[in-house]
């Protein structure tokens, strides 16, 4: 993990192309879907956290501000080769620290139900019943920043 760095970019940065491809490969292709068919205009409003190893983007997490105190985390993805090695935790923890310093108190996200345990391990609570998004079950999860 020592050689993994975290950076924050906007969608105008050159690394955004790699972020797009990572989301496509990890979050859309396995569902038989493509980002090409989606409205990605919201991306331009987000801070994008990226994990970099050896000059390549291996993880991403997008932060969308809902209000002065509530932040939505979305598009959490780690490349297949790097899953289960702490990259997701590292991105989530860094983003949480940064937004807490900016005065945010609450994080909400739509978690795929099959990975809810990942967010539970990071102290998020399930706050909704299951609903369908991108064709699969999701739950809303929240964390109050202490």
* Binding residues vs ligand COA (CB under 6 A): 26-27, 76-78, 83-89, 111-112, 115, 117-118, 121
Element containing residue 43 per DSSP (H, E): none
Q: What sign results for the dihedral spanned by CA atoms 111, 115, 119, 125? A: positive
**Residue with nearest beta carbon to ligand COA:** 88
Q: Shortest approach of ligand COA to residue 68 CB, angstroms?
A: 25
Instruction: Return the number of the residue (42 or 102) whose C-beta is nearest ligand COA.
Output: 42
Phi, psi angles (nearest 5°) of residue 120: -60, -40
Measured in whole angstroms, the distance separating CA 25 from the mean position of its chain's CA atoms is 14
Q: Shortest approach of ligand COA to residue 103 CB, angstroms?
A: 25
Q: Shortest approach of ligand COA to residue 11 CB, angstroms?
A: 19
Instruction: Return the number of the residue (27 or 50) whose C-beta is nearest ligand COA.
Output: 27
How many helices and strands, by DSSP H and E, does the chain display?
3, 8
The residues with which 63 forms a beta bridge, in sequence order, are 47, 73
Instruction: Return the number of the residue (68 or 93) whose C-beta is nearest ligand COA.
Output: 93
Instruction: Return the number of the residue (42 or 68) whose C-beta is nearest ligand COA.
Output: 42
Euclidean distance between CA atoms 59 and 49, whole angstroms: 8
Closest to 109 in 3D by CA, of 60, 132, 143, 84: 143
Q: Shortest approach of ligand COA to residue 138 CB, angstroms?
A: 7
Instruction: Return the number of the residue (29 or 102) whose C-beta is nearest ligand COA.
Output: 29
Q: Shortest approach of ligand COA to residue 27 CB, angstroms?
A: 6
Euclidean distance between CA atoms 22 and 79, whole angstroms: 7
């Amino acid at each position: 993990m020592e050689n993994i760095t975290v950076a924050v970019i906007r969608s105008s940065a050159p690394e955004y192309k790699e972020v797009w491809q990572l989301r496509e490969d990890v979050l859309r292709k396995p569902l038989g879907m493509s980002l090409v068919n989606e409205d990605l205009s919201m991306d331009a409003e987000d801070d994008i956290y990226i994990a970099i190893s050896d000059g390549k983007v291996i993880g991403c997490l997008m932060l969308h501000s809902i209000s002065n105190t509530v932040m939505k985390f979305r598009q959490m993805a780690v490349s297949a080769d790097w899953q289960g090695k702490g990259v997701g935790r590292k991105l989530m923890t860094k983003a949480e620290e940064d937004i807490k310093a900016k005065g945010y108190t609450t994080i909400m996200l739509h978690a795929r139900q099959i990975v809810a345990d990942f967010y539970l391990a990071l102290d998020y609570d399930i706050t909704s019943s299951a609903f369908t998004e991108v064709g699969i079950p999701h739950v809303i999860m929240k964390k109050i920043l202490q």
